[in-house]
Structure 1
Amino acid sequence: MSDWSVSFTSLYNLLKAKLCPYFYVCTYQFTVLFRAAGLVGSDVITAVISPTTRGLREAMRNEGIEFSLPLVEECRTRKQKNSEVNLETEVANSLKVGNSMEDGEEPALSDDDDEGFSWLEEMGVQDKVKKPDAISIKLRKEKHEVQMDHKPESLALVKGTNTFTLLNFLINCKSLVAAAGPQTGLPPTLLSPVAFRGGTMQTLKARSINAKARVHLAYEDMFSLEIVGPVMPHSLHSLTMLLKSAQRGAFSAVLYTHEPTAVFNTGLDNASPALNKETIRKDLPTCGLHPKTLDQLSQCPTLGKSSIRFLEMKDYAYTWKS
């Protein structure tokens, strides 16, 4: 792991110096995407982790890593707005109670649970009623947090200087290496669009297929190109620019996404879509990406938890399905 730690630190330093736009840390349990300042509408370094578990999030908190759960907060905000609208339309407290009972919602646990059983003592039956202990109350409060484990909603977002703390946490985290299975003893895989210390260059496997397809009453030659491997975002954008020119603005592509990473298309909280493109080009001059690719990566994500599955261009205009 010492050589891997050196490679990981090298990549982070390149990212911090804006010589690397982004890189992935792929473990057997989760994937981390580090992005340089200026990408996805953020003016600081960001890191997104998916999927996460309650144990991982608790360990990060214990290490002092501040993070947010964008999808959970978005859902909470949406529910809060809906509840405010409902409160405005309700006319009586009795109707409020009736609606909550019909919805089957469990009453929220308050901090003064002990006071809730005081009336039992007054009746002298407190010994006959089983009172929930502190552990049961805590588990009940954390029920929702445990339920979202391994789901897209468990996406964690780390920003700014906390990404460096995350770096040290991942380097010292022994559970990153599998103790059993085909990946036993192997450190996490590092994927980057630029060279880094200890890295090796891997080419994507491509295979071309020629066939004839019936169009109306005649047969036309059809050409397809199959590309296998970890096709990173900059590679996909470069391919679309190449096909746009070579195919004269007419082509289609079917994309197969690594499902746990589709949630990386979620927009960041407090992102700034108005970041100056010229500033981004100036800050990332030698990262090796095409200026148009940088412009694309600098935009705020809009796909949410989904990803592009089908991409088609006709007359130099794009359409897609997610």
Structure 2
Amino acid sequence: MSSKPFTWAEHLKAQEEAQGFAQHCRATETNLPQSIQEPKLSTELRCAFQQSLVYWLHPSLPWLQLFPRIGADRKIVGKASPWSQDEALQQALMSDWSVSFTSLYNLLKAQLCPYFYVCTYQFTVLFRAASLAGSDVITAVVSPTTRGLREAMRSEGIQFSLPLVEESRTRKQKNSEVNLETEVAKSLEVEPAPSDDDDDESFSWLEEMGVKDKVKKPDAISIKLRKEKHEVQMDHKPESLVLVKGTNTFTLLNFLINCKSLVAVAGPQAGLPPTLLSPVAFRGGTMQTLKARSLNAKARVHLAYEDIFSLEIVGPILPHSLHSLTMLLKAAQGGAFSAILYTHEPTAVFNTNLDAEAVCKDLSTCGLHPKTLDQLSQCPTLGKSSIRFLEMKDYAYTWKS
């Protein structure tokens, strides 16, 4: 929203659209002046706008909306899906998808791609290159997860952490005065079941205190049940966020390629490979653009009506696109605009801090503007939330999450 019109974003000429695509593919760095007097006449601004709307997608099935995938059954139901009953076609789609997924990971590892998303019908994975979000190694975050998925990952030898569970546990330890009763209850909830050999040893300290007879010794089954209940309780919630780091991300790649539950076996999404979203080109990826349209309206302010101008951008708006667009709006709208953002809720938790320190690795060839890259390299500060409202006044930002 702005008090100035968005006519500069309308009816791009064929030459401007073509130039915007070329600038994207060649990762051309556009640096606009702080303020543009006549935005509608600025070819540089209009080309940069087209450049900022580009993203890459796989698979590309024009009659299906492939993002978001979580909760998308109603939008896909009734649409043609010739692969749903054709096993050979499903295998061909998955084989093609595996090649594209591997291509993206290789680009990420070579620091030629900053990040990408894998969107399944049950969870989303964000792979980030080393130096993004303050990490000095490649990271992957998965959300939401279930106990079954986490157990499958463990059995494949993937080492991972649950940052929000660990953060909550640390906070509780700091804030509470732990007495004997709560300490015993807590150990029943989060510690692994002890073996028969160390049962007596683990309770010997109670005997020394003279209270062994008053405390009922838990059996291995009840400890296991309590632990399983604790594990299942966080399923599908933000707290189920899984963090994978370093070489374990390659093991995760192989796990996902071979994971049977990655693709739905029934329902409207049956046999449909996950959606891959990337800011840069990759093997099998299709260039797409976000949809943009400008609207004019009248708003009542005090006793009079004033013109209000808005620009609506629809589609999977990736983080780098949001940052690029704010840089364009700053120049075109005279340093004053506001934006309402609609987040894909399951991904808001990706803003969780990974307890890393900001590091600087050379991602200069990854295709992002240096200022955008600098922004995405910072340690996240939003936690489980995301920016819902962004406002700029006199070239200064404020936001609400």
The bucket for the TM-score relative to the shorter chain is: 0.7 to 0.9
Query: In 2 relative to 1, CA 70–96 (structure 1 residues): closer, same or farther, beyond 3 Å?
Result: closer
Percent identity (aligned): 91
Query: In 2 relative to 1, CA 131–180 (structure 1 residues): closer, same or farther, beyond 3 Å?
Result: farther
The answer as to 2:301 corresponding to 1:208 is: no
Verify the 8 A CA contact 2:130 2:361 in the aligned structure 1: no
Q: How far apart in 2 are the matches of 1:116 and 1:193?
A: 53
Query: In 2 relative to 1, CA 225–91 (structure 1 residues): closer, same or farther, beyond 3 Å?
Result: closer
Count of paired positions: 306
Residue aligned with 1:219, SS: strand
Query: In 2 relative to 1, CA 301–6 (structure 1 residues): closer, same or farther, beyond 3 Å?
Result: same
Residue aligned with 2:359, SS: helix
Query: In 2 relative to 1, CA 174–318 (structure 1 residues): closer, same or farther, beyond 3 Å?
Result: same
The answer as to 2:255 corresponding to 1:169 is: yes
Q: How far apart in 1 are the matches of 2:293 and 2:317?
A: 14
The answer as to 2:226 corresponding to 1:147 is: no
Q: How far apart in 1 are the matches of 2:108 and 2:305?
A: 50
Query: What RMSD over aligned residues (CA atoms) do the two structures have, in Å?
Result: 5.5
Deviations along 1:86-143, whole A, 9 cap, x unmatched?
899999999999xxxxxxxx99999966899999999999999999874443112222
Residue aligned with 2:380, SS: coil
Please identify, of 280-289 and 156-165, the stretch whose mean Cα deviation from structure 2 is larger: 280-289
Q: How far apart in 1 are the matches of 2:223 and 2:186?
A: 27
Query: In 2 relative to 1, CA 123–91 (structure 1 residues): closer, same or farther, beyond 3 Å?
Result: closer
Query: In 2 relative to 1, CA 42–93 (structure 1 residues): closer, same or farther, beyond 3 Å?
Result: closer
Please identify, of 120-129 and 300-309, the stretch whose mean Cα deviation from structure 2 is larger: 120-129
Query: In 2 relative to 1, CA 160–246 (structure 1 residues): closer, same or farther, beyond 3 Å?
Result: same
Query: In 2 relative to 1, CA 83–133 (structure 1 residues): closer, same or farther, beyond 3 Å?
Result: closer
Deviations along 1:35-79, whole A, 9 cap, x unmatched?
000111001000000000111111111111000000000011011
Deviations along 1:239-272, whole A, 9 cap, x unmatched?
1111111111110000111111000000003xxx
Residue aligned with 1:7, SS: helix
Residue aligned with 1:92, SS: helix
Query: In 2 relative to 1, CA 92–177 (structure 1 residues): closer, same or farther, beyond 3 Å?
Result: closer
Query: In 2 relative to 1, CA 127–181 (structure 1 residues): closer, same or farther, beyond 3 Å?
Result: farther
Query: In 2 relative to 1, CA 89–288 (structure 1 residues): closer, same or farther, beyond 3 Å?
Result: closer
Q: How far apart in 2 are the matches of 1:216 and 1:241?
A: 31
Residue aligned with 2:361, SS: helix
Contiguous gaps of at least 5 residues in structure 2 = 1-93
Instruction: Report the CA distance between 1:310 and its aligned residue.
Output: 0.7
The answer as to 2:372 corresponding to 1:319 is: no
Verify the 8 A CA contact 2:133 2:358 in the aligned structure 1: no
Verify the 8 A CA contact 2:358 2:378 in the aligned structure 1: no
Please identify, of 77-86 and 308-317, the stretch whose mean Cα deviation from structure 2 is larger: 77-86
Please identify, of 248-257 and 215-224, the stretch whose mean Cα deviation from structure 2 is larger: 215-224
Query: In 2 relative to 1, CA 281–292 (structure 1 residues): closer, same or farther, beyond 3 Å?
Result: farther
Verify the 8 A CA contact 1:90 1:96 in the aligned structure 2: no
Q: How far apart in 2 are the matches of 1:300 and 1:205?
A: 30
Q: How far apart in 1 are the matches of 2:148 and 2:324?
A: 39
Q: How far apart in 1 are the matches of 2:199 and 2:374?
A: 54
Partner in structure 1 of residue 340 of structure 2: 254
- Counterpart selection for 2:386 from 268, 290, 307: 307
TM-score (norm 2): 0.67
Verify the 8 A CA contact 1:109 1:141 in the aligned structure 2: no
Query: In 2 relative to 1, CA 261–132 (structure 1 residues): closer, same or farther, beyond 3 Å?
Result: same
Instruction: Report the CA distance between 1:146 and its aligned residue.
Output: 1.1
Query: In 2 relative to 1, CA 217–15 (structure 1 residues): closer, same or farther, beyond 3 Å?
Result: same
Verify the 8 A CA contact 2:194 2:220 in the aligned structure 1: no
Verify the 8 A CA contact 2:160 2:244 in the aligned structure 1: yes
Instruction: Report the CA distance between 1:206 and its aligned residue.
Output: 1.4
Q: How far apart in 1 are the matches of 2:366 and 2:171?
A: 39
Q: How far apart in 2 are the matches of 1:126 and 1:265?
A: 46
Verify the 8 A CA contact 2:193 2:224 in the aligned structure 1: no
Contiguous gaps of at least 5 residues in structure 1 = 98-105, 270-277
Instruction: Report the CA distance between 1:312 and its aligned residue.
Output: 0.7
Query: In 2 relative to 1, CA 130–294 (structure 1 residues): closer, same or farther, beyond 3 Å?
Result: closer
Query: In 2 relative to 1, CA 70–129 (structure 1 residues): closer, same or farther, beyond 3 Å?
Result: closer
Verify the 8 A CA contact 1:46 1:160 in the aligned structure 2: yes
Verify the 8 A CA contact 2:145 2:242 in the aligned structure 1: yes
Query: In 2 relative to 1, CA 228–112 (structure 1 residues): closer, same or farther, beyond 3 Å?
Result: same
Deviations along 1:281-308, whole A, 9 cap, x unmatched?
8711221111110010000000000111
Residue aligned with 1:23, SS: strand
